[in-house]
Amino acid sequence: MDKSSGDEIWEDSFDKLLDPRPQQSNLNIIKKNVRLSYNIDTSVENSSHSIKGCSPKSCNRSVSISTPNYNHLGKDLFNCGLSPINRLQLDGFEDTTEKCNADKDAEPNTKKRGLIVPSKNQIDTFSKFSNQTNKVACASNQSNKIVGVVLKPGKWRKSLNIFRQTQISVLNESKKLESRNSVCQDRKSIFLNGLNKQNVISQQDFYKYCNQGKPLKFNAAYSQYKMLKTHKIGEGAYGEVFRYTPNRKGCKNDLVLKIIPIEGSIEVNGEKQKNFSQIWPEIIITKKLSSIQGFANIEKVSTVKGKYPQHFVKLWKRYDDEKGSENDHPGLFGENQLFVVLELHFAGSDMSNVIFLNSEQSFYALQQIILTLAVGEEDYQFEHRDLHWGNILIKSTTKKHICFKFNNTDLIVDSKGVNITIIDYTLSRITIDECCYFNDLSNDEELFQASGDYQFDIYRMMRNELKFERPF
């Protein structure tokens, strides 16, 4: 939140209670050392600071492992059958019962849980790579013994791609990896309508949906002069995201462009490109949910063709220089490359990068998330299926209330100065007029292999819940 915009008006009664006022202290109503609300994921703690033997020199601050911090949270907190959080479970590694000192500190039950430890070579290569990207992490103790590799919570697919690329160079003898299929190759789009099962949408139907007869010229459709203050704000495994102010009168909102390469034969960011059918459910879902409070608001979807415009390439480069990109340089696309472009309203920063000003603000943000999901579920049997905090955007608002319409009933929630938006429907599922749109995840093995955070256990738990239903 921007503190300069007078956000202190949102300070709430909970926060006042946390002020160390003497009379309440004396009455024992408050404790002096209460930790103020802070949107840390309490199931895990970034343990880069607590890895024993990891000196500041050898341990880049951004290289961290996400793992239950037992010193802080208590040893039994996650000791439950439903969610056995592991330090590492990635395909291609040898299972070993080897233990080392740092491991004992961090994970009291690794033998039972079957910690999988990569070889020194594997981890060295991986470590070098992850130091550059800051997105996936490894840790070693003082004697350079390997203690584990985990994926950071959030955008797991990108982290996994990077990890996989590194693995391939190190483990090219591994049969499992040789037979690995890319996500898109395995994942089918399904549009289920009663007994009809359709897997394909034609190019012409797709263009029609975009109100086009054929793809537009990328350079002309998104030329530099139509856009002000353009910059790259994010990236996903499937594309790049740019923010800009439209250079036209009457346009109040900043927009973002999510640009996804499609139908091409070259791999991008370690993934096969999606085809029209594979991207179809995401488009339909985005359009349908757009009118519901709390979901991404879409202006337009279009298909464009051609080389990546130079002004976007420059912005891509700037982002890469400043923040480091995990994606491939967009200069790799040729004249015949097709892209689907989603034009969405700018909806703020993702929750992992926002610090709530007070406890009430986080409480009402949670209420907004719950109500958004409730309305989506009621109206379209919507399931997000990838709702980590990187997919929840938060923007400040001057509105006092946020209104939801649940089953024809108006529900009004205090905003406390924040407006939430749920994004990224790549794995989502929706039913419209008895037709169900989703990508079949049942063959997407990678989705169910990662670990290191509760987020990854959830994918497996979700699959277990649905084990008798295929596809899902």
Ligand X SMILES: Nc1ncnc2c1ncn2[C@@H]1O[C@H](COP(=O)(O)OP(=O)(O)OP(=O)(O)O)[C@@H](O)[C@H]1O
Q: Which is the catalytic residue, given 386, 414, 424, 453?
A: 386
**Which residue among 390, 392, 414, 453 contacts ligand X (CB under 6 A)?**
390
Q: Tell whether residue 448 is a contact of ligand X (CB under 6 A).
A: no
Q: Tell whether residue 187 is a contact of ligand X (CB under 6 A).
A: no
The separation between CA 391 and the C-alpha centre of its own chain, rounded to angstroms, equals 5
Nearest approach, Cβ of 337 to ligand X (angstroms)? Answer: 17
| Cβ partners under 8 Å of residue 249, min gap 6 | none
Nearer to ligand X, 69 or 349 (CB): 349
**Does 258 carry a binding-site annotation?**
yes
Q: Provide the Cα torsion 203, 204, 207, 211; round to 10°.
A: -170
Question: What is the C-alpha separation between 472 and 440, in angstroms, rounded?
Answer: 5
Nearest approach, Cβ of 345 to ligand X (angstroms)? Answer: 6
- Interface map 420-439 toward ligand X (x if CB under 6 A): ---xx-x-------------
Nearer to ligand X, 418 or 423 (CB): 423
Element (H, E) at 410: strand 409-414
Nearer to ligand X, 347 or 447 (CB): 347
Q: Tell whether residue 237 is a contact of ligand X (CB under 6 A).
A: yes
Q: Tell whether residue 238 is a contact of ligand X (CB under 6 A).
A: yes
Nearer to ligand X, 115 or 344 (CB): 344
Q: Could you confirm whether 433 is annotated as catalytic?
A: no
Element (H, E) at 69: none
Question: What is the C-alpha separation between 220 and 307, in angstroms, rounded?
Answer: 11
- Interface map 109-148 toward ligand X (x if CB under 6 A): ----------------------------------------
Question: What is the C-alpha separation between 398 and 419, in angstroms, rounded?
Answer: 9
Q: Phi-psi category of 154—alpha, beta or left, where left has phi over 0 and alpha has psi -120 to 50?
A: left
- Do the Cβ atoms of 84 and 107 come closer than 8 Å? no
DSSP code for 108: T
Q: Tell whether residue 347 is a contact of ligand X (CB under 6 A).
A: yes
Number of residues counted as binding ligand X (CB under 6 A) = 24
Q: Tell whether residue 183 is a contact of ligand X (CB under 6 A).
A: no
Nearer to ligand X, 87 or 158 (CB): 158
- Do the Cβ atoms of 225 and 247 come closer than 8 Å? yes
372-408 exposure pattern, b = at least 16 Cβ within 10 A, e = fewer = bbbbbeebbebbbbbbbbbbbbbbbeeeeebebeeee
**Which residue among 137, 259, 393, 420 contacts ligand X (CB under 6 A)?**
393
Q: Tell whether residue 256 is a contact of ligand X (CB under 6 A).
A: yes
Question: What is the C-alpha separation between 142 and 343, in angstroms, rounded?
Answer: 49
Q: Tell whether residue 387 is a contact of ligand X (CB under 6 A).
A: no
Question: What is the C-alpha separation between 229 and 237, in angstroms, rounded?
Answer: 25
- Interface map 404-423 toward ligand X (x if CB under 6 A): -------------------x
User: Binding site for ATP, residues?
Assistant: 258
Q: Which residues are catalytic?
A: 386
User: Binding site, residues?
Assistant: 258
Residues near ligand X, by CB under 6 A: 155, 157-158, 233-239, 241, 256, 258, 296, 344, 346-347, 350, 390-391, 393, 423-424, 426
